Structure 1
């Protein structure tokens, strides 16, 4: 409405004057009360910050919702507040300092067995798996190939001092990239056909610390695995540098550039369970496959000169 369009009536003028007189009386009353007692301490009042002033150093707190928006790229806050000043908490400039991100960086891709995993937990299943392994062995022998089997075992760990070690629960065997056998021997035992294969010296069994695994199988099942090749010792005869005790994971990273994952919840889990989980099967199969695969890589390397190996051994002892 434009005030110049219509004249103001006398009633409106009287109302305006009455309102002005009332406001003036309130002001005079407040002024009189403030001077009655100068000894009365002044009340402490909280002063709200002047949000509009850009000269103040005080900045408003950012709400949890706004902080989350800034961490998500400032999309929500920018769409509500517009461009704004760089010092405004709504433009996303504060978001990166509100809550740090924890980022898991994987340097190398992980290695996993990608073939068929054959899981056996009964005597007939283990015997069938042994027959299939013998077919693989015979095919390699016909092609004049060396018969090599990646072998590893798993058992339930003991966490109490003085507790009797648990029996070997799982034996995994792998001879190529297509198939790996996971044998739940704590339930099936080791049938005679599998025992013959393990004790045959013509078939090389490879792995890291495989002599210790063979010793445990001998104590637990009275089966004596023969023809063993320790991958750590083989690596020290093939690779340059000071000899060391190689783990399977370290050899895998060195020779393939990939990571052999060893999650504790699986490695230290219950291998005596009635039926192994998919994660346990994948873990066991990958260990046997990687043992076979690392051997195939190492055997293609030339042997280090014996004098160089001896010098490195002496240097490591000194």
Structure 2
């Protein structure tokens, strides 16, 4: 069965894939990114970092052996309207006290895709509590349900959300499976620019 234009109905309804790549530095050229490996530097940065809305994501070194215990969070990424903090927790001798205060502050909305899992992992690995969480995938399903077919439990990744709402292509590739415990290299830092 085909439609008037000769395409199957399912292909006709899909919007074209975006071709322009997403990059925060293009969207906001005045945005600043700080890569922090020292708890004292992180404390200073967190002292001036605020909401009202903050994006959050975590990375850790993947395991490739089935049944092996998951590695702890190595990198915590926080972003607000003008600043990105890359907190390399793996290299910090102590967790900055300001980080716990920031994560527990209910007046700052922490937004991310799958943020419940991030909150659980931060608590399990470091005892860090997080309040005021908003899962962007669940929000999209709630306010724009006709666009997202399937069950609420079906994952909607950040790349799909950016393609749908920003008409931009988020490409990270193999770097997401890299060793996040090592000092970030130029490929990983560039990935965090996207």
TM-score by length of 1: 0.50
1:175-190 map, 5 Å: 175-176=80-81, 178-188=82-92, 189-190=94-95
Deviations 1:105-150 (Å, cap 9, x if unpaired)?
A: x95111012132111000111111101204xx4xxxxxxxxx1100
Q: Report the 3-state secondary structure (helix = DSSP H, G, I; strand = E; otherwise coil) of the residue aligned with 2:161.
A: helix
Q: Is 1:270–2:174 an aligned residue pair?
A: no
Q: Structure 1's 175 and 243: CA in aligned 2 closer, same or farther, altered over 3 A?
A: farther
Q: Report the 3-state secondary structure (helix = DSSP H, G, I; strand = E; otherwise coil) of the residue aligned with 2:110.
A: strand
Q: Is 1:127–2:60 an aligned residue pair?
A: no
Counterparts of 1:187 and 1:107, CA distance in 2: 37
The count of aligned residue pairs is 167
| Alpha-carbon offset, residue 285 of structure 1 | 4.7
Bigger share in strand = 2
1:232-311 map, 5 Å: 232-241=137-146, 242=149, 244=151, 245-264=155-174, 266-273=175-182, 275-286=183-194
Deviations 1:236-259 (Å, cap 9, x if unpaired)?
A: 122141355311100100001111
Q: Structure 1's 185 and 111: CA in aligned 2 closer, same or farther, altered over 3 A?
A: same
Partner of residue 4, structure 2: none
Partner of residue 58, structure 2: 153
| Alpha-carbon offset, residue 162 of structure 1 | 2.2
Partner of residue 24, structure 2: 113
Highest Rg: 1 or 2?
Answer: 1
Counterparts of 2:150 and 2:79, CA distance in 1: 27
Counterparts of 1:166 and 1:284, CA distance in 2: 20
Q: Report the 3-state secondary structure (helix = DSSP H, G, I; strand = E; otherwise coil) of the residue aligned with 2:42.
A: helix
Counterparts of 2:96 and 2:190, CA distance in 1: 24
The structure showing larger relative contact order (alpha-carbon pairs under 8 Å, at least 6 residues apart) is 2
